[in-house]
Amino acid sequence: MKVKGSEIILKTLIDEGVDTLFGYPGGSVIQVFDSLYDYRDKIKLIRTSHEQGAAHAADGFARSTGKVGVVIATSGPGATNIVTGVATAFMDSIPLVCITGNASRKLIGKDSFQEIDIVGITMPITKHNFIVRDVSQLQETIRKAFKIANSGRKGPVLIDIPSDVMADFTYYEPKEKLSEKNNFDIKEVDILKVANYINNSKKPIIYCGGGVTASGSFKELRKLIQESNIPACNTIMGIGVLGYEDELNLGMLGMHGRYSTNQAIDECDLLIACGVRFSDRVALNTEKFAKNAYIIHIDIDKSEIDKNIFTNFSLIGDVKEILTRLLPHIHSKERRDWISRINELRKNDYVPKSSEDEIKPHQVIKYISKTLGEDLIFVTDVGQHQMWTAQYCGRTHPRSFLTSGGLGTMGFGYGAAIGAKVGNPNRPVVHITGDGSFNMNFNEVITAVNNHVNIITVVMNNSALGMVRQWQHILYNDRFSGTNMVSGLDYVNLSKAMGADAYSCKSFNEFKISFDKAIRANKPVVIEVEIDKDELVLPMIPAGGSVEDVIME
C-alpha cells in the first residue's frame, strides 16, 4: 500500500518516540498539517505565536526532558524565523530535529514565492542538514536526523522538504530505529593515568558543565566527588549536576561566579574539566586561568580539546562511561588542608543586602526556590535576571535550570518555558525574565493561554537593558546610551489582554502575596516586580580579566 509523504513524516516521528510537535502552519507544510488532523490523538501540536517561539519551545522541551525536540515551519520567512532558535540550540548542544517546507522541486532556483535556501543559511549552526528530493528518502532521512541529533555531541539537525515531496506517495515499510550508541576507544592506561593524578593531587577541583547533563553522568560525578573528597564547581550550563547542599559544591565559576570559586581555581594544582568548553565567560583570561594546575579535559567532542585553552591531558569519549571506568581506581582522601583553605576563601564571598520594603532580586529567586522546592524548573531569558537566577536558584537536579548559555538569546525564555512545561506537566515551571527580554517574545503568552500551559513568569522590570547598562556604569563612566527603557508599558493589562492573570509588585511582601496567588491559579500568570535600575550583578570579573580583577561592590 502506498502512503503519502506527509503521513510518512508523522509515522516516522511517532516511531522515534515523538509525542509533541512545536510549529506554525503555512503553504509549503500544509500537507503535514492536513495529515496531522488524522494523528492528533498521537502527536500533540503546540502552535506558537511565532516560529521563533516554536524553536525555543522545542529547545526547552529537549533541555528539560532529555528527548529530541521537534519543530516544523513553512518555507521562506517561516524557516528563517527559526534560525535564532536553531543557533541557540547549536551553541548549547541541544538535540533538535527541525523540519522546514520549501517550494516544489520544479520551482526551486527560480526565486519562487517563499523560496529560501534554508540549508545554506543554517549550515554553520546545525550538526547536519538534509534536502529530501524524493518521497522514498523521507523515512531514512528522518531516522538519520534523530540519530545525528542525539548521538555524540548533541545538536540540531535540519530537514528541508519540498512541498511536492510531501504530497507524493510511495510504498512504506517501517524500519528499525538507528542506534545512537557512541563508540570510543578509551584506553585503560589513560584511565589509570587520570586516576593517578587525582589520587596524588593535594588541591584538586572538578569543573563540570552541560556535557555532564547531556551524558546523564551526574550520579557518577557526585560519587567521584564524595569518594575522592574533591571540591567541585559548575558553569551556568552545569547548574543542577552538583548537590546544592553539598559542602563540596563550590557553585558557579566565571564572570559572575563566586569569588571563592574563582580564587580556588587560581590556587588548585589539578583541574578535572568534565563536559565543558572553557568558554570566554569562564576562562576569561586564558593565560591566567588555573595557572598553577595540571589540567585534564574529559569531553565527547575532540574539537573542543585545546580549542580555547591548552590542557595537559585529555580523554575523549562519553563522560558517563569515562567516570564509570575511573571510579574503581579512585582512593578516598580527606584533603583537610585544601577544604579548610576553601572555607576560608568563602568568608570573602559577596553577600547581597536584603529588604522587605523594596524588591531585591536574590530574595525573589530564593523565595521561589524555597516555596516550590526540588521539582521546580527555572527558565530564564538573558541579562541580569539570568545571572541572579543562576547565583541563587539552588538547584539540586540536572535539567532544572534552563537558559541560553552560549548564544545568549534574549527572548528565549517564554518559549522554552512552554516547552519545559509541556514536557513536564506535573512539575512547576517558573520563567524569570527582564523587561528587555520579555518585550521580545511576550506574544507567546497567548500560546500558553490557548494551550493551557500554566507557567509563572516573573518580569524583573528595572526600566533598562540592565546588563549592558551595568557595563556602561562600570566600564564606560555612566555613559548610558540606548539602555534606558522608560516606556510606561503596563505589563499587567498587557498580560490580562492575552488571557493571563497578572500582578505588579513594589515590595518583597507584595511579591510573596502575588506569587502565592500565582501558584494557586489554574492558568498562566505574569508577575511584574520593580527593580532598582542601579542594582548590579556581583561579583563581576570584566571580560578578559582574572580573579584579581574581581569587582565586589
**Mean pLDDT on 74-79:** 97
Strand ranges inside 333-491, DSSP E: 377-380, 401-402, 429-434, 456-461
List pLDDT tens digits, range 119-161. Answer: 999 999 999 999 999 999 999 999 999 999 999 999 999 999 9
Q: Is residue 60 pLDDT above 80, yes or no?
A: yes
Residue 245: pLDDT band with limits 50, 70, 90 = confident
Burial (Cβ within 10 Å: 0-12, 13-18, ≥19) of residue 493? exposed
Mean pLDDT is lowest, of 178-192, 320-334, 403-417, 452-466, for 178-192
Q: How many CB atoms lie within 10 A of CB 136?
A: 15
Mean pLDDT is lowest, of 64-73, 128-137, 173-182, 304-313, for 173-182
Q: Is residue 486 pLDDT above 80, yes or no?
A: no
Q: Is residue 181 pLDDT above 80, yes or no?
A: no
Contact in structure between 174 and 11 (CB atoms under 8 Å): yes
Per the DSSP assignment, residues forming a β-bridge with 100 are 73, 160
Chain center to CA of 530: 26
Per the DSSP assignment, residues forming a β-bridge with 296 are 272, 313
CA distance 450 to 422: 13
Residue 177: pLDDT band with limits 50, 70, 90 = confident
Q: Which helix (H) or strand (E) holds 273?
A: strand 270-274
Q: Is residue 550 pLDDT above 90, yes or no?
A: yes
Q: Is residue 20 pLDDT above 90, yes or no?
A: yes
- Output the nine-digit C-alpha cell for 78: 517561516
For residue 94, what pLDDT is reported? 99
Complete domains list, the chain, with CATH: 2-171 (3.40.50.970), 188-346 (3.40.50.1220), 361-530 (3.40.50.970)
Q: Is residue 96 pLDDT above 80, yes or no?
A: yes
If you write DSSP's letter for every residue of 469-505 in order, what string do you get? Answer: HHHHHHHSTT---S-B------HHHHHHHTT-EEEEE
**β-sheet with 128-131: strand ranges across:** 44-47, 20-23, 69-73, 96-102, 156-162, 128-131
Rg (CA), the chain: 24
**No. of helices (H) and no. of strands (E), the chain:** 22, 20
Residue 306 region by backbone torsions, left for phi larger than 0, else alpha for psi between -120 and 50, else beta: left
List pLDDT tens digits, range 492-549. Answer: 999 999 999 999 999 999 999 999 999 999 999 999 999 999 999 999 999 999 999 9
**Mean pLDDT on 375-390:** 98
Mean pLDDT is lowest, of 218-227, 308-317, 349-358, for 349-358
Closest C-alpha among 317, 391, 326, 335 to residue 360: 391
CA distance 94 to 92: 6
Closest C-alpha among 240, 238, 310, 244 to residue 274: 238
- Output the nine-digit C-alpha cell for 141: 532521512
Per the DSSP assignment, residues forming a β-bridge with 271 are 205, 295
**Mean pLDDT on 461-481:** 97
Q: Model pTM greater than 0.95?
A: yes
> Residues 6 or more apart from 237 whose CB is under 8 A from it?
92, 209, 210, 213, 403, 405, 406
Q: Is residue 164 pLDDT above 80, yes or no?
A: yes
- Output the nine-digit C-alpha cell for 499: 488571557
Q: Is residue 390 pLDDT above 80, yes or no?
A: yes
Q: How many CB atoms lie within 10 A of CB 14?
A: 14
**Mean pLDDT on 441-446:** 98
Residue 89 region by backbone torsions, left for phi larger than 0, else alpha for psi between -120 and 50, else beta: alpha
List pLDDT tens digits, range 312-322. Answer: 999 999 999 99
For residue 109, what pLDDT is reported? 82
Per the DSSP assignment, residues forming a β-bridge with 129 are 158
Q: Is residue 487 pLDDT above 80, yes or no?
A: no
Q: Is residue 180 pLDDT above 80, yes or no?
A: no
**Mean pLDDT on 39-45:** 97
CA distance 508 to 495: 21
Contact in structure between 92 and 406 (CB atoms under 8 Å): yes
For residue 104, what pLDDT is reported? 87
**Mean pLDDT on 329-345:** 96
Q: Which helix (H) or strand (E) holds 303?
A: none
Strand-strand pairing, 456-461 and 525-530: parallel
For residue 58, what pLDDT is reported? 99
Contact in structure between 447 and 422 (CB atoms under 8 Å): no
